[in-house]
Structures are given as structure tokens and as C-alpha cells.
Structure 1
Amino acid sequence: MHLLILDGHHLEAEFRQKFGPTHQYSFVPAGPGRLVDELEEAMPLLDEALPTVDVVFDFGNYGPLYEEKEGLVAFVEASTESLAGRFGADKPAYPVFGFCGLPTLLNRPQLEVSLYDEADAAQLADCCARLGTACGRVADRVGLFTPRLLALGVNEACAALQEGIVGAAEAAQLLPVAAISPFEQADAVGLGRIYDVLSALWDDTHDARYQASPLLKRMALRGEAFGSAR
């Protein structure tokens, strides 16, 4: 299959590890910039790739650039926005699915996905089979499942550390479902991305659990990492 990845250059290695060498990959733009900022330079790459593309992985909101391509399937990164929130009642002309595309969370045994339309479930199963991956369906909601769980665990650990309830070593054990500590996982994913997930969850639910702790917010805005703070 031919995979077109928009704004996903930062995950090129993980994409290739996840789906393997039998597929063709086109990353647009080719470098670490964003397509919306580099349209003039990136459009020739996009025009060259689109005629043979089977699957789009969209890390932005670029549907108008590929919506006229017949036969493609689109996965849109949905850690901070539900499909219902993005598309409303305007169902795209192509099958569209949400997916978890946060760093380190893509190359998992199951591709975490959500559906906009239950009628597309068979196409999802067929596409994932052709990609060579199992898929784990979750509800179409802000934060999907794993990003929401991770953001909650990191936030709780950071709040406990800030309040002096526990020390750094104890706080690092507050996400028992993970093989590594919440601090290590936040550093791997990117604390800024964790903060973005929390902000989206807070805006969606106003649930106090998702209100970013002052320490987490400050570190995210300063571009810091937990590893340097312990």
C-alpha cells in the first residue's frame, strides 16, 4: 500500500517500524516543518504522491487537499479532537477514522482507532489487515483512550510532586499500567503534547481531573522535560 503521511515527519521511523518495509511511504512535507507553512514547496510532492495513494495519515486538518482522490482511506490524528468535533454532520466523501499518533504510542501491537460512521467498520478492518496491523477500536471522544489515560496519570503524578504529597521516586510509580514511569513516558511523548491533550480534555469536559497542574503547565510552556526536573 502507498501511505501518505501529512505533518508526520517526526514519526517517520516509528511509521516504518509499525507497518514495515513492504509499503510505500510519502512524507509531506519532507522535512520537520508543517504543510500549512510550506505549501508552495510541498505541493509538488503532494501532487506526485496523490495519484497512487491508498491511505492518508493526517496530523493536521488537510482533508481538502485529498478529498477528491477516489478510493482512499483517511486516518486523522485524534488525540485532541473527536471526529464528531472535527466533521460535525458533514460526513466526508471518503472513509475517515481517528487514530492515536502520539510519539511512542503509534508503534504498538494495536493501532488505536475511532470511527466516525459505524458503516465504515468493514473498510477499517480491511484496511488494517492490508496494513498488517491489528486495530483496537475506542470511543470517538477527545483523548481517545491511551492519550487520555496517559495525560491523567502524568497530571496526577506532577500534582502530587508539586504539592509535596510524595517524592519524585514515589510520584514516578503513580501510573501502574505503564512499563515506565509517567515522567519517562511524558518525556518520550513530549510534555507539550501531554499538555495539549489535557487542555483539550478540560475544554471538552471541564472535569477537574483534566485541569493541568501548575507545574506541568509551566514546564510544558517552557519546553522543559521531566527528566531534567528530577
Structure 2
Amino acid sequence: MHILVIDGHHVEAEFRQKFGPEHEYTFISTEHQGKDEWLEIQQSVAEAAASAGTAFCFSRVGTHSSPYMVVSGFQLPVFVEIQTESTADIQRFDVANAATATYFGFCGLPTLLNRPLLEVSLTHEADREKLAATCAALGTDYRVVEDRVGLVTPRVVCQIINEACFTLQEGTASMQDIDLGMRLGTNYPRGPFAWANAIGVERVYAVLEAMWHDTHDERYKVCPLLKRQALRGEPFGV
């Protein structure tokens, strides 16, 4: 299958590992400086989409651009990374293409993509068969979760990182001790601060901010320490 990947250069290696060498890949960035460059990007996307079997759209940190801006009108299944909005939100905004577009949500955060199960969400129950057929063509097992901001795994992992930030901020333990304790005590692959760096502190912050605005649940209220690191664009010093 030919897979069109939009704004996924930061996880290109992980993406190729996930789906394997038997597919053809086209990676396109939507970052642009002006109208002419944007028109060139749209043309490149249209040309790639003409032969693609499916598309994956990743969220861009620090922007409010939505994937449907470049994939609207294409007759192929589109997987949209769920960080700050649900697939229902995206399809509702994509008025021009709402009748024909098929959107699936997916978990695409770095370190959470290349897993045995692709974490996905449905906008419409009627799309379940199309999802099954598309994932079969991709050669991946999948698990359908509720179509909510943050899906499941990103929400859980980002919440763990946030709690670790509160622990550090309160002076209960050092950053190194927290990371070591979580790796040895819970058998996590990384400590929360190393994991935040691997995912990208700004992405962790974006997920938590979106969850807070969606639920107003105190669990997702962003720790000031985490917010400061994200706004500065700095990783944790582990």
C-alpha cells in the first residue's frame, strides 16, 4: 500500500518500523512561509493522495492548523492523530467533505506508535468495516477506543508525567530518583521525565491542556513546572 504521511517526519523511523518495508511511503510537511509555498504543498499532497491507499496526519506542535485543511476532498481513509481534538470535531469542521470523508483517530505520539496494537477511534460506527479492511491492508492489529481528546494511552502517560512534575516541584524527590523509581518499581520502559523528553515536552503539555479544557478534571490541570518547560521549548535535564 502507498501511505501518505503528513507532518510525520519527527516519527518517520518509528512509523516505518511500525508498518514495515512492504509499503510505499510519502512524507510531506505542511510547514510553509507564504501563500505560494502553501499552494505547492497542497499540490504535492494531491499528487500523492491520487495513488495512496490511506493517509496519516500528525499534529504539529505550536500550531492550530487542522489536517483536513490539506486532505479535504480526497476519497481515501484518513487517520488523524488525536491530541487536542477528537475525530468527531475534525469531521464536524470539515463541512465541505463531511459526506464523503472517512476519518479515524489514532495514537501517534513518539514512543507510543510502534506497538503491536494501533490505538484508533471511530467517528461513525458504520465505518468499522472500512477500518478493519484498512488495518488489514496496513498489516496491523488495532484496538478501537472512545473518540475523546487524548484517546487512552496518551492521556495516561501524560498524566503520569504531570504527576511526576508535581512531585519534583514540591521537592519530594529529585528528577533522577523519580525516573529511577518508576523504572525499577513499575517496570516502565522509561522514567516520566525521560519519557516526556522522548515524546516532546510541548506535546505532553498540548495533550494535558486539551484534556483540561475538555473535562475540567483536576487530574489534567497542568503542573506549572511542566508548562514552563513546554513554553520555553526545553527538555528536562535528565
| Fold shared per TM-score above 0.5 | yes
Do structure 1's residue 209 and structure 2's residue 216 form an aligned pair? Answer: no
- The aligned length equals 224
Residue 58 of structure 2 aligns to which amino acid in structure 1? F
- Of the three residues 105, 108, 125, the one matched with 1:118 is 125
Give the Cα separation in 1 of the matches to 2:17 and 2:109.
15
Counterpart position of 2:15: 15
Q: Which runs of structure 2 are paired with 1:80-91 in the superposition (5 Å)?
A: 80-88=84-92, 91=98
- Cα shift at 1:171: 2.4
**Conservation of the 8 A alpha-carbon contact between 2:3 and 2:52:** yes
Counterpart position of 1:97: 104
- Aligned residue for 1:93, secondary structure, equals coil
Give the Cα separation in 1 of the matches to 2:32 and 2:103.
20
- Aligned residue for 1:166, secondary structure, equals coil
Give the Cα separation in 2 of the matches to 1:180 and 1:128.
29
Change (3 A) 1:220 1:125: same
- Cα shift at 1:177: 6.6
- Of the three residues 144, 148, 164, the one matched with 2:171 is 164
Give the Cα separation in 2 of the matches to 1:177 and 1:203.
31
Do structure 1's residue 66 and structure 2's residue 63 form an aligned pair? Answer: no
Identity %: 48
Give the Cα separation in 1 of the matches to 2:231 and 2:99.
35
Give the Cα separation in 2 of the matches to 1:99 and 1:126.
16
Structure 1 unaligned regions, length at least 5 = none
Counterpart position of 2:161: 154
Q: Which runs of structure 2 are paired with 1:125-144 in the superposition (5 Å)?
A: 125-144=132-151
So what's the TM-score if we normalise by structure 1? 0.89
**Conservation of the 8 A alpha-carbon contact between 1:67 and 1:93:** no
Counterpart position of 2:62: none
**Conservation of the 8 A alpha-carbon contact between 2:91 and 2:103:** no
Structure 2 unaligned regions, length at least 5 = 60-65
So what's the TM-score if we normalise by structure 2? 0.86
- Cα shift at 1:94: 2.4
- Cα shift at 1:170: 4.1
Give the Cα separation in 2 of the matches to 1:11 and 1:119.
30
For structure 1, which segment, 19-28 or 41-50, has the greater mean C-alpha deviation from structure 2 after superposition? 41-50
- Aligned residue for 2:50, secondary structure, equals helix
Counterpart position of 2:195: 185
Counterpart position of 2:63: none
Residue 79 of structure 2 aligns to which amino acid in structure 1? F
Residue 194 of structure 2 aligns to which amino acid in structure 1? E
Residue 193 of structure 1 aligns to which amino acid in structure 2? R
Counterpart position of 1:27: 27
**Conservation of the 8 A alpha-carbon contact between 2:81 and 2:106:** yes
Counterpart position of 2:231: 221
Give the Cα separation in 1 of the matches to 2:85 and 2:153.
14
- Cα shift at 1:104: 1.4
Residue 116 of structure 1 aligns to which amino acid in structure 2? T
- Cα shift at 1:87: 2.7
Change (3 A) 1:36 1:134: farther
- Aligned residue for 1:25, secondary structure, equals strand
Residue 148 of structure 1 aligns to which amino acid in structure 2? R
